[in-house]
Amino acid sequence: DSGVTQTPKHLITATGQRVTLRCSPRSGDLSVYWYQQSLDQGLQFLIQYYNGEERAKGNILERFSAQQFPDLHSELNLSSLELGDSALYFCASSDAQGANTEAFFGQGTRLTVV
Amino acid sequence: GEDVEQSLFLSVREGDSSVINCTYTDSSSTYLYWYKQEPGAGLQLLTYIFSNMDMKQDQRLTVLLNKKDKHLSLRIADTQTGDSAIYFCAESPNNNDMRFGAGTRLTVKP
The alpha carbon of residue A18 is apart from the nearest alpha carbon of chain B, in Å, by 24
Query: Nearest residue on chain B to A60, judged by CA atoms?
Result: B97
* pLDDT one digit per residue (tens) for chain A, 114 residues: 789 999 999 999 999 999 999 999 999 999 999 999 987 778 888 999 999 999 888 889 999 999 999 999 999 999 999 999 999 999 999 887 665 557 888 999 999 999
Averaged pLDDT, B8-36: 91
Backbone angles phi, psi at A83, to 5 degrees: -55, -35
Averaged pLDDT, B59-67: 95
Q: Please state, rounded to an integer, the average pLDDT across all residues of chain B.
A: 89
Q: Can you name the residues that pair with A47 across neighbouring β-strands?
A: A34, A57
Instruction: Extract the runs of DSSP E, i.e. beta strands, from A1-114.
Output: 5-7, 10-13, 19-24, 31-38, 42-50, 53-57, 64-68, 74-78, 87-94, 104-105, 109-113
| Torsion on CA atoms A54, A59, A63, A68, rounded to nearest 10 | -20
> Is residue B40 pLDDT above 80, yes or no?
no
Exposed/middle/buried for A79, CB within 10 Å: 0-12, 13-18, 19+?
middle
Chain B residues in contact with A106 (beta carbon < 8 A): 42
The predicted pLDDT at position B95 comes to 60
Identify which has the larger pLDDT, B95 or B37.
Answer: B37
The reply to whether A92 touches chain B by the CB within 8 Å rule is: yes
Q: Residue A108 — left, alpha, or beta (φ > 0 → left; ψ -120 to 50 → alpha)?
A: left
Chain B residues in contact with A45 (beta carbon < 8 A): 97-99
